[in-house]
Structure 1
Amino acid sequence: MTGTGAEPDGTGRRRGRDESEEERADRMWTELIQEVRVAQMGVQILFAFLLTVVFQPTYRELSDTNQTIYLVTVVLGACATGALIAPVSLHRLVSGRRVKPQAVRWASRLTLLGLLLLLATTTSSLLLILRVATGDGFVPWVVAGVVAWYLLCWFAIPLWTRRHHTAG
């Protein structure tokens, strides 16, 4: 085969997959869609919940600051939903056009953007909920700790793993 992924590793053995660019794109697309399904579910549930808050009688009792945080959170949730559903639309509109490798790259970028927007949505949701529930001054510290945890789990560990365990 004339695969792009399997190259000699210096010992005469081949490493990686022996797959064509199209085969690699098919595999990566399948993996990406599985990952997106998890994120889509989370952002859609969060967004649906956020949409109901404004219809609660106590919404009008929120301070102007909390109402602003809520509105920003809803917009972030809408943007995250759009970015995480975009790979489906992208695939549907370019399917059969022989551009799968390019579609995978764009879908991957949109998914990463969606994850960043989901992080922002979750952060602002947590900020709003804790402000309303407690009103205490420690809320920003708790939110900062949760954001640090998300950054560690979602980005730092994966990037560290990529850097330290990627061959070549």
Structure 2
Amino acid sequence: MTETEEQRLTRNVAELLQELRVAQAGVQILFGFLLAVAFTEVYTRADDFQRGVHLVTVLFSVAAVALLTAPAAWHRMLFRQGQRPVILRVANTLAMWGMACLAAAMTGTVLLLTDVALGTGFAVAVAAVTAVGFVTLWFVLPFRARRDNGEGSP
């Protein structure tokens, strides 16, 4: 059975929103953790580097929340307006940037925690490996598969 263009668009929107639910849960838990850290006794002993990493990480997690929840708002605001192609195009871009911000926030969290536990030198190395892992798994490999499939760039 062949799906119509409208059915395909409906399915694509539903799939995208479901995928974003997974990412949203993770980033919201991370954001809560990062907020709680600032109110601990250990935070009062943090040095300037740790406070800076914490702040930047919080800002990346805020950006990730905004970017990953925006497609749901777009869908709701444009519901039944015949705008599914626009919703999908914009939501895909927002989701990609949201995932990039989530990867940066996760990497910053690893940097912060490793710095506290083992020191800055080791923390930078572990954070670099973490960043490379996210970039490879979330971006490089999917783009390579997309290119190999002949679908071009996003």
Tell whether the structures are fold-level matches, with TM greater than 0.5: yes
- For 1:47, the equivalent position in structure 2 comes to 31
2: CA distance, partners of 1:51 / 1:141:
25
Q: Is the contact made by 2:24 and 2:68 (CA closer than 8 Å) also made in structure 1?
A: yes
Provide Cα deviations, 1:82-110, integer angstroms capped at 9, x if missing partner.
11011111111110111111111111111
More helix by share: 2
Aligned length: 152
The runs of 5 or more residues in structure 2 that have no matched partner are none
The runs of 5 or more residues in structure 1 that have no matched partner are 1-16
2: CA distance, partners of 1:64 / 1:141:
19
- For 2:133, the equivalent position in structure 1 comes to 149
| Deviation (angstroms), 1:18 | 4.5
Taking structure 1 as the reference length, the TM-score comes to: 0.84
- For 1:22, the equivalent position in structure 2 comes to 6
| Deviation (angstroms), 1:136 | 4.8
> After the TM superposition, which segments of 4 or more aligned residues of structure 1 sit over 3 Å from their partners?
17-21
- For 2:91, the equivalent position in structure 1 comes to 107
Q: Which secondary structure does the structure 1 equivalent of 2:121 belong to?
A: coil
Q: Does 1:79 align with 2:28?
A: no
Taking structure 2 as the reference length, the TM-score comes to: 0.92
- For 1:60, the equivalent position in structure 2 comes to 44
RMSD between superposed Cα atoms in Å: 1.7
For the pair shown, which has the larger CA radius of gyration, 1 or 2?
1
> Higher RCO, 1 or 2 (CA under 8 Å, sep at least 6)?
2
| Deviation (angstroms), 1:138 | 2.3
